[in-house]
Structure 1
């Protein structure tokens, strides 16, 4: 794998232009996944949020744009991405503390802190059964060496009692995700994201609570696109998803 300097950037519009983020033209680029993750978080003004593996800050800054007066912190292992996250926070006037470090060896500034919410978009692929990406920065984001179980373990440690964890992950990693979450969290609720009517779920959002005791709940899937197949250049998102992606609305996680 090779890593190239981040001197070729794009500035991309999110939330219908309410947020603009610098990203590398090559390597890992945030898309709709962190936006959906942020929209699912049931946070309130005045609460604290840790975005583990924050990248350029997409999820945390989308959340900060939707909910005022949050204390936002990000942890990012790649210095170039951490620098872009700080730049994006400054240029969008959203307070966001970004700490560089590896969650496998939690940086000292985070070890003694706890948060009302932890959010994460951990690597989607298990490299024990897959092929690494050629671009180093992309590989760290999509299939880094830290196991999913350690992501969940470290998140649980950073949560305050009764705090919430939100994770977006591939559906085929669900067995690993649920096994890891059951070790230190409860009140697990799962929202499948279905790309089109009649298709299988490809992504899921998990909500879990530290100290939660409610029974596991598997919610009906949320369909992202109205049509059964791609029918041209128009995006054809469902009304619910369009309001999240274009208007910055909250994702209606079932009660």
Structure 2
């Protein structure tokens, strides 16, 4: 597929990530890369020369941030929305990463085999948070693809399990109330689970979880210390969250 490196997108904004190191064009009114993308990128621990895939990469917010954080690693983004694919390709070129970051159009529901590629060393994903349109007020049309998962969470976990080799890692950010479903769907073929709760405030329940799994892994599950994003003193972010957003720190998984 030939991708226009200068896509014309109505009401697009030019944003900066990782303390200005990344320039990101994204639609002003559609789904936009935010905190979840930043946390997912910070949680990527792929080693040098590894190959990483991110299905549902959108315009490349997490993909580019992970690539900048991991300068010796190759990344492939996959996205079903054609406009988002064009923007992602332009963002990759704008940031000078075409030598090791690519994007292609594809459907998670079609399965990993449809890509015709060998398994990757690692996969990152921020799956749509909802399966049933009746569970919430319908989002704006431009955001429906990012919020509603066709085929449900099972389609995404099935894709991720096929996308990585044995011993490869899967890192997902998702709603905390779907943690049990996520673990159950991954568990038949993955293990060595590590879970990091993400809290808006240190005294609030977690609304997000970062989950890292190893395909065919056998190590015991680890529940890691939570990350609180905002303090109660009026500052925008906690020092830990600010360091992550600026690219000065990563979300460490430790040694397994």
The RMSD of aligned alpha carbons is 1.8
- Number of aligned residue pairs: 246
Q: Deviations over 1:44-102 (max 9, x none)?
A: 22111001100001111001111112211011010000111100000011132111011
- Map of 2:166 onto structure 1: 161
2:38 is paired with a residue whose SS is helix
Q: Deviations over 1:188-237 (max 9, x none)?
A: 1110011112100000000000110011122221211232x7x3xx41x2
Runs of 4+ in 1 over 6 A off after TM superposition: none
Q: Is 1:191 the counterpart of 2:196 in the alignment? A: yes
Partners in 1 of 2:140 and 2:33 — Cα distance?
A: 15
Q: Is 1:117 the counterpart of 2:122 in the alignment? A: yes
Gaps in structure 1 of 5+ consecutive residues: none
Q: Is 1:238 the counterpart of 2:225 in the alignment? A: no
Q: Deviations over 1:133-174 (max 9, x none)?
A: 343330110113231011011111010121000000011111
Map 1:73-84; keep pairs closer than 5 Å. Answer: 73-84=76-87
Partners in 2 of 1:64 and 1:222 — Cα distance?
A: 22
- Map of 1:90 onto structure 2: 93
Map 1:2-151; keep pairs closer than 5 Å. Answer: 6-95=9-98, 96-106=101-111, 110-127=115-132, 129-131=134-136, 133-151=138-156
Q: Deviations over 1:8-35 (max 9, x none)?
A: 1001111111111000010111101111
Cα separation, partners in 2 of 1:49 and 1:251, compared to 1, 3 Å: same
1:179 is paired with a residue whose SS is helix
